Amino acid sequence: MIVRSQPSFQDIIFTVHGSILPRIARRLAAIAVVSVIAILAAQAHPGIFARISTIPFTLIGIALSIFMSFRNNACYARWWEGRQLWGELIISARSFARETSLLPDEDRRALLHSICGFACGLTARLRGEDEIAAIAPWVDIGPATKSPNVTNLVLDRMGRRLLELKQTGVITPIHYAVVAEDMRSFGKVQGACERISTTPVPFAYSLLLHRTALIFCVMLPFALAGSLDWWTLLPVLLTAYTFFGLDALGHELEDPFGVEPNCLPLYAMKRTIERDMLSLLGEEDLPPPLEPHKSVLS
């Protein structure tokens, strides 16, 4: 996630890092080449593009803008839901830690370490990394490494341990019902995150937008070159920057758990949970919070 203050006028003019420009630079260069070809053709053969009117491009541009806004809203909704889910996970982890504060130290330590393991496993699962390696520093998985969902296995073991504590009378049924609610919240967060991660925006929907934006930007120079000459580059590149930039930004937000600059900072939020759980266990040597690197917090 890009962590920067509101852009100043200087940032608007000169800033490249943190913008979407590096990702679409090649497409902009290709449109610039097409524009130069259209301008040179119009200069060599005056009137060659006279019959190409700008009116259809105006109508298509308006329709394309509306269509693109719908897609970007859908992608942003996925991103925001992902952020809400991880916020709920942090809240539930802190609540669980408070509600287990009177448990025996050994049991409480194992449970809070399991929460850290769950957060690490979920992060690895959503980013396609090794779940077992991520969980191992906190929880001894043992022989169950062939489980198709190791992160859920951590929750299962936590649930079993809480049931044992209830059956032995360490916690009352009412107390168990309270902490079980947090356990359900953990499972809900994992399931919802997996739903977002495994359900992309329909391919045909995205493909239609990509093709329409590309065709529009390639054809636009031929409608303007005859009347604007070299000034054609300005509106064409500005239009291409807007359409390609929104398209690329929507693609990043579509997968909120990825590693692109505008994706959610899962590592930083996972570290927040680790620090909170260790602090509540009375430990003072906490892992440092993650800081943005070149204005990007991962």
User: Would you call 293 helix, strand, or coil by DSSP?
Assistant: strand
Per domain, the residue ranges of the chain are 78-199+258-280
pLDDT of residue 4: 63
Which residue is associated with the tokens 């420009």?
21
- Residue type for position 173: P
Closest to 197 measured CA to CA, from 248, 257, 239, 242: 257
Residuewise pLDDT in 10s, the chain (298 residues): 666 666 665 655 556 666 778 888 899 999 999 999 999 988 888 878 777 777 788 888 888 888 888 888 889 999 999 999 999 999 999 999 999 988 899 999 999 999 999 999 999 999 999 899 999 999 988 765 677 899 999 999 999 999 999 999 899 999 989 999 999 999 999 999 999 999 988 888 888 888 888 888 899 998 888 888 899 899 999 999 988 988 888 888 889 999 888 889 999 999 999 999 999 998 888 889 888 877 777 7
Distance CA 121, CA 79 (A): 20
Three-state DSSP class for residue 145: coil
Residues 162, 171 contacting (CB under 8 angstroms) = yes
Task: Give residues with Cβ within 8 angstroms of 216, minimum separation 6.
Answer: 57, 60, 61, 64, 239, 243
Q: What pLDDT shows up at residue 271?
A: 94
Q: What is the pLDDT of residue 12?
A: 58
Pull the structure tokens for residue 62.
Answer: 């308006």
Q: What is the pLDDT of residue 145?
A: 66
Quote the CA–CA distance of 105 and 149 in Å, as a whole number: 28
Report the alpha-carbon angle 143-145-146, nearest 5. Answer: 110
> What pLDDT sits at residue 14?
53
**CA nearest 115: which of 280, 255, 265, 264?**
280
Q: How far apart are CA 296 and CA 298, in angstroms?
A: 6
The span from the CA of 102 to the CA of 46, in Å, is: 86
Q: Residue 2 forms beta bridges with which residues? A: 296
Residue 77's pLDDT is what?
A: 94
Length of the chain: 298
- Round to whole Å and give the CA distance between 190 and 248: 27
Whether the Cβ atoms of residue 268 and residue 288 lie closer than 8 Å to each other = no
Rounded Cα–Cα distance for residues 153 and 132 (Å):
11
Tokens of 56: 């259809």
Q: Which two tokens stand for residue 175?
A: 């107390």
Residue 135 tokens read as 């969980």
In 3-state terms, the chain is what percent helix, strand and coil (to 5)?
Answer: 70, 0, 25
Which tokens hold the place of 287? 């892992």
CA separation for the pair 278, 271 (Å, rounded): 11
Say if residues 102 and 111 touch (Cβ distance below 8 Å). Answer: no
